[in-house]
Amino acid sequence: MTTEFPLLTIIPLAPLIGAAYNALAGYKMQKRFGHAAVHYPAIIMPAISFLITLMAFFKLLSLPANERVLIATLWDWMPIGFLDAQFSFVMDQLTLVMCSVVTFVGTLIHIYSVGYMHEEPSYWRFFSYLNLFMFSMLVLVLGDNFVVMFVGWEGVGLCSYLLISFWYHEKKNAVAGMKAFVVNRVGDFGFVIGLMLLFWGMQGEWVDGKFADIEGSNLSTASEITHEMAAAKVASVTFRHVAERFENKEFKERFLNRKVFGISLITLIGIFLFVGAMGKSAQIPLYVWLPDAMAGPTPVSALIHAATMVTAGVYMVARLHFIFALDPFLMSWVTFVGALTALFAASIGFFQYDIKKVLAYSTVSQLGFMFIAVGVGAYWVGIFHLMTHAFFKACLFLGSGSVIMGCHHEQDMRKMGGLKKYMPITATTYLVACWAIAGFPFAAGFYSKDEILWKAFSSGNLLFPGGGIFIWVMGAVAALGTAFYMYRSYYMTFTGEYRGGGGHHEDHHADHGHYGHAHTPHESPNNMTYVLAILGFLSVVGGFLGLPHLWHLPNLLHHWLEPVFEGSVNYITAAHFPHIMEWILMGLSVFLATAGWLVARWLYLDNKNPLPAKILASKNQLVRKVHDVVSNKYYVDELYDATIIKGVMQFRLLCDWCDRKIVDALVNLVGTVGKVVGFFHGRVDSGVVDGAVNGTGWMVVSGGAILSLIQNGKIRSYIYITVVAMFGLILINYIKF
Amino acid sequence: MDLQTNSTLLSWMTFSPLIGAALIIGLSLINYVCKCFSKTVMDNLSRAIAVLNVLAVFMMSVALYLSFDGNSTGLQFIHHFVWIKDFNIEYFLAVDGISITMVLLTGLVSLIAIIASVPWLSKIDGHHFTDKNVPGYMVMFLLLETGMMGTFCAMDFFLFYIFWEIMLLPMYFLIGIWGGPRKEYAAIKFFLYTLAGSVLMLLCMIGIYFASGPATLVDGTSVPHTFNIMALSAMGQAGLFANSAPILGVAFSKLMFIGLFIGFAIKVPMFPFHTWLPDAHVEAPTPISVILAGVLLKMGTYGMLRFNFQMLPDAAIWAATGIAIFGTINIVYAAFVCLAQKDLKKMIAYSSVSHMGFVLLGMAAMTPQSMVGAVFQMFSHGLVSPMLFLVAGVIYDRAHTRDIEGFGGLAKQVPEYTGIMGLAFMASLGLPGLAGFIGEFLVFLGSFGTFRIMTIIAATSVVITAAYYLWTIQRMFLGKLNEKWSKLWDMDWRERSMLYSLGVLVIFFGFYPLPVFKLMNTSLIALVEMMRGIQ
């Protein structure tokens, strides 16, 4: 059951209008009326989206729990045969959570940007891109089918590209943007292939020939197939219809038995779709773009590369739960990649000095946690962590932005320190967010991360030895690492003595630099600190939406999302453990978080402990090697450069060479041969033929008189003669053979 | 099927450019004799005549669009009479769902190209091609439009062939006279290459004519053979050509298929017959590149649909795998070649080769989605590639170079141009929401059922395409401004009028392609159904 709710259209439309306004008129408005003419519309538009989302929420509430689906159909998009891609938006409980996070955090970050970007000459361009991003992200989460989702999917990639290379006059930024887009495109390639496989796999029985027949209808009626029939009978790209088909037992059985290239079709679909998720959500091996993406302005890092866009992969897996839950191999795969990424990225975070890079790797790691959740079938937990992560990671990123601005565009934590004194609000909110991300009790991250680890531990769907325990260990170690490097960044930045300043700072960010400011750190303006305070507050209370069942308190989020994931609930199995086990694990993870925090405190508080410096200076081969490998991010970028990039760059030269020296050379050769033959003929003509011709000149003269009869100047008879001659030749050809 | 004349609109669209051409020639002759106009006046007069004429054709194509019935699979706007009775040749113009989009595209792209051919409202130096022998250029341009329109409208094989050849000649002169430094080489290469294809086509046409069965001309006389494409298609679909006597041991329909296919493949251009295209594009003046990429390439794929698929369906099914292989090579190989180009225009030319590969792949797969996707790709490429060549022209007009590496940091200097170029590039790399995406996506979706491995290989091009376009943007527009270009100026109103209108269309059809689908869906799905029936 769906309910029409046309207002849904406004949710993505409002930011699109904002983007168009600033793109087309922003430059002139900024020049004439100043910044306010740019940023007010840019802030109001996402705020409108947020308000409509709230309206949709109340509308959803008024419906019975299993009928909470709002839909707004705009137009038929690609109605071809049984393909039913409509341009329509749909909102169910899952979309509502996503929409609320995106519009709420998005609006806050817009407000924050007013302060952060106020010295930027291309202020209008920034807000235009930001609004365009909001549009794309909202289309992504509201899309009713794969294709609309894909519009948003690539749209956010584009905006990410535009915003990473926002300060494009530095080549480094431009290259980072390009890298992000191209790596994302690798993911998009996976997404398209997955969709192709799915669409094809749903097309009923097929013969292994070219013109497979389509189940339930032969093609002669394909043009008349309506969307309803398509949904019921043939392939579909609409999420609801695909899910409905998978509810059909017979269909599902047949689908699961299908193989392509000798591999189970469902596995292949899942793997390819997950490649898409890997690209967007920066999982191994496609995570390389995200750390480089920190080249963009910090609000962008907070909005796109922490809170919203990078979670799109998690959202997709949750949205397609009815596919991912079908195959245990797939579930194990997603879980394993998530756990590996969580651990791997956390370890890189240990040795980073750029405050934004620390946060970037921590984002990669946290996204890994989300994939553990959706991998083991705890979809609501994945979304829960997505939401809490959006709050505390946005808070951390914006906090780092505040720090960077306060320290006059310094990002190296070694040149910070002691900022608590200068920027108390930033320091407090940063600490609160660290508390949340490290998973200390009663902060948001505690509930979501703990639930993830518990769900992983108790999962019965995983195929590898040890099952959930194996994943739990990886996750717990990653959590320990998280607590360590997050507090490390806090202590390095905010405690001890200020190490920056001294006037030697080279102000190369001319466009957004602070001219003539004193080189002491300063607290950021109110609009930034208020946003930090709101997000810091939510980093704590956001977790109350999903209180553990163990505590016998109402779990609002789980309850809310339950109907969405109803279809796959039967495939998810969980090993049964006594409650005490859950308590023990909870205690254990608190212990690990505390351990991480204490180590960080011991090593980095006030930056007084000489040990870190000593370790770094150590001559011990093993220490050096480990340090080099980890601080160089395991040389993954270098590996890609040496293999894929180099391969492509060589192959392009080969193709080009082949095109010029073989294909085109052959063409020219044919031309040259023709020329030579022509020259030779000319010689023969003038020497031999002409002699004969001259000798028989008189024949020509007399013959000309006869021939002139047909040379009458009428085009039609010319054609007549030519065609007759042609036909004659053809006929001779026929007779001859 | 009633094929009596019911409209002369198509004839007007096809031949009215000749009126303008005649007018310009007449004026030039008068001027030659009496010297009553200065060069400037004469130039502007011929420009005005050409622009108005092309505009009129465009208006007619709008009228055509408005009164076209998309639900019918039959011919519409028929103009039909016996032309050369002795050879059963008829004058037969009409459109159906397969050709209507191409006719509309021709009207639009010609308008864009003629605007690109006049220097009005624009800052152009004296050496610009638009100042060179203007009346001659305009006459050739109008002649070209006649040829293009006729090719898409002709429903008589012989007439089709004549238009096909008519189009060749003005193109040769337009490249050879108004082109760049290596114009002669490029023009001759283009001419001979295409001519070689036409010879094959001519032979096949005659072969098919003699293999055809009895038919009735429009005036009611019964004849043993016919050039009528509709009648020939009906015969082919009934299996006549499949059962014709083999030639030299090769099945008749397959031999005809190969001959016609090579003729059309040269035009597409399909690997390995594509090397004329980069040369022709690099040397051709901007508007001619626009026409070349926007309309001429589609004649190849249109011809394949009309003749190879519709007339020789059994051979098409036999050849489908081969076509798909070549299509895939086109897509991936050309994308890699793009990555190696240093000349902006050459890169765009190769990207055309790559994108036309999708059309081949989609047609060969013969599913409703892939077929509609292929024709939509023809249409969207007809919008996007003119945009690309226009932006290449904009920078060439100012900088007199197209060396990608030679620029750098232009975004600061010419922001508006950068934005438009970004839009064109994004449309070409298939960003969802822009026109280029729809065709590509449908081809992928539809082709997979038929050619699994090849579709996956073809899909890798999404990454390569993004790489070469973004790399170009990075090298030309981002980074530090190369001081050499600090005097470059941004777009003027003439360029805006062309690029913005194309840009709006590209966005519009990306989100709302339904008008195009409505025109062609019924006909194309009927074609696919027919092919399935044969199988």
d(CA A299, CA A138): 18
Q: Which of B448, B450, B455, B465 to mutate to test the interface with A (most CBs of A within 10 A)?
A: B448
- Is residue A320 within 8 Å of A239, Cβ to Cβ? yes
pLDDT at position B23: 93
**A724: containing domain:** 705-737
Contact of A698 with chain B, judged by CB distance below 8 Å, is answered with no
Let me know whether A689 and A709 are in one domain.
no
Let me know whether A714 and A736 are in one domain.
yes
Contacts B432 to A, Cβ<8 Å: 147, 150-151, 153-155
Per-residue model confidence as pLDDT tens digits over A576-593: 888 888 888 888 888 988
Let me know whether A432 and A575 are in one domain.
yes
Let me know whether A724 and A672 are in one domain.
no
Nearest residue in chain A measured CA to CA from B482: A169
Let me know whether A590 and A683 are in one domain.
no
pLDDT at position A673: 85
Contact of A168 with chain B, judged by CB distance below 8 Å, is answered with yes
Indicate if the pLDDT at residue A275 is higher than 50.
yes
Per-residue model confidence as pLDDT tens digits over B211-257: 998 988 888 888 999 999 999 999 999 888 888 888 888 889 999 99
How confident is the model over A278-296, as a mean pLDDT?
89
Indicate if the pLDDT at residue A507 is higher than 80.
no
pLDDT at position A231: 42
- Per the listing, tokens 């280029």 go with B436
* Domain total of chain A: 3
Let me know whether A453 and A336 are in one domain.
yes
**What pTM value is reported for the model?**
0.89
Indicate if the pLDDT at residue A208 is higher than 70.
no
- Residue B492 CA: distances (Å) to CA of A23, A652, B345, B411, B496: 18, 36, 21, 16, 6
Q: How far is A156 from chain B (nearest CA, A)?
A: 11
Indicate if the pLDDT at residue A512 is higher than 70.
no
pLDDT at position A284: 86
d(CA A286, CA A278): 6
- Establish if A496 belongs to a structural domain: yes
Give the range among A174-183, A296-305, A667-676, B462-471 with minimum mean pLDDT. Answer: A667-676
Indicate if the pLDDT at residue A730 is higher than 50.
yes
Contact of A641 with chain B, judged by CB distance below 8 Å, is answered with no
pLDDT at position B184: 87
The pairs formed by A597-603 with CB atoms below 8 angstroms and a separation of 24 or more are: A597/A438, A597/A440, A597/A483, A597/A484, A597/A487, A599/A484, A600/A483, A600/A484, A600/A485, A600/A486, A600/A487, A600/A488, A600/A490, A600/A491, A601/A487, A601/A491, A603/A488
Contacts B87 to A, Cβ<8 Å: 723
Rama region for A34: left / alpha / beta (φ>0; ψ in -120 to 50; rest): left
> What does the mean pLDDT of chain A come to?
83
Indicate if the pLDDT at residue A698 is higher than 60.
no
- Residue of A243, A150, A565, A557 lying closest to A386 (CA atoms): A557
- Establish if A446 belongs to a structural domain: yes
d(CA B154, CA B156): 6
Question: Shortest CB distance from B462 goes to which of A175, A185, A716?
Answer: A185
Indicate if the pLDDT at residue A213 is higher than 70.
no
In this prediction the ipTM stands at 0.91
Q: How far is A700 from chain B (nearest CA, A)?
A: 30
Report residue A230 CA to chain centroid gap. Answer: 30
Confidence of residue A228 (pLDDT cuts 50, 70, 90): very low
- Is residue A110 within 8 Å of A43, Cβ to Cβ? yes
Let me know whether A531 and A675 are in one domain.
no
pLDDT at position A204: 56
B residues 475-534 lying closer than 8 A (beta carbon) to A: 477-481, 511-514, 517, 521-522, 525-526, 528-529, 531-532
- Establish if A440 belongs to a structural domain: yes
Q: HSE-up of B504 (CA within 13 Å, CB side)?
A: 5
AA letter at B142 = L
- Establish if A164 belongs to a structural domain: no
d(CA A11, CA A134): 9
Q: Which residues of chain B have pLDDT under 70?
A: 1-2, 126-127, 535
Let me know whether A417 and A388 are in one domain.
yes
Q: Is cis: bond before B272, omega within 30 of 0?
A: yes
How confident is the model over A161-170, as a mean pLDDT?
90
Tokens at A392, concatenated: 């505390």
Let me know whether A606 and A667 are in one domain.
no
Does A652 sit within 8 Å of B336, measured CB to CB? Answer: yes
A residues 219-238 lying closer than 8 A (beta carbon) to B: 219-220, 222-223
Let me know whether A710 and A673 are in one domain.
no
Let me know whether A733 and A600 are in one domain.
no
Confidence of residue A413 (pLDDT cuts 50, 70, 90): confident
Per-residue model confidence as pLDDT tens digits over B36-86: 888 888 888 999 999 999 999 999 999 999 999 888 888 999 999 998 888
pLDDT at position B322: 93
Per-residue model confidence as pLDDT tens digits over A516-560: 445 678 888 888 889 899 999 998 888 888 888 777 788 888 888
User: Buried (b) or exposed (e) across A228-257, using 16+ Cβ within 10 A?
Assistant: eebbebbbbbbbbbbbbbbeeeeeeeebee
Nearest residue in chain A measured CA to CA from B272: A663
Helix or strand holding residue B89 (H, E): strand B89-95
Does B467 sit within 8 Å of A168, measured CB to CB? Answer: no
Order of strands across the sheet that contains A83-91: A3-4, A70-80, A83-91
pLDDT at position A734: 64
Name the burial class of residue A473, with classes exposed (0-12), middle (13-18) and buried (19+) by CB atoms within 10 angstroms of its CB: middle
Does A182 sit within 8 Å of B470, measured CB to CB? Answer: yes
CB contact set of B151 (below 8 Å; sequence gap of 6+): B160, B163, B164, B167, B299, B302
Helix or strand holding residue A86 (H, E): strand A83-91
pLDDT at position B147: 94
Between helices B134-153 and B157-178, what is the axis angle to 10°?
150
Let me know whether A688 and A719 are in one domain.
no
What single DSSP character describes residue B215? E
- Establish if A55 belongs to a structural domain: no
- Establish if A63 belongs to a structural domain: no
Nearest residue in chain A measured CA to CA from B448: A196
φ, ψ for residue A508, nearest 5 deg:
-90, -10
Residue-range domain boundaries for chain B: 337-535
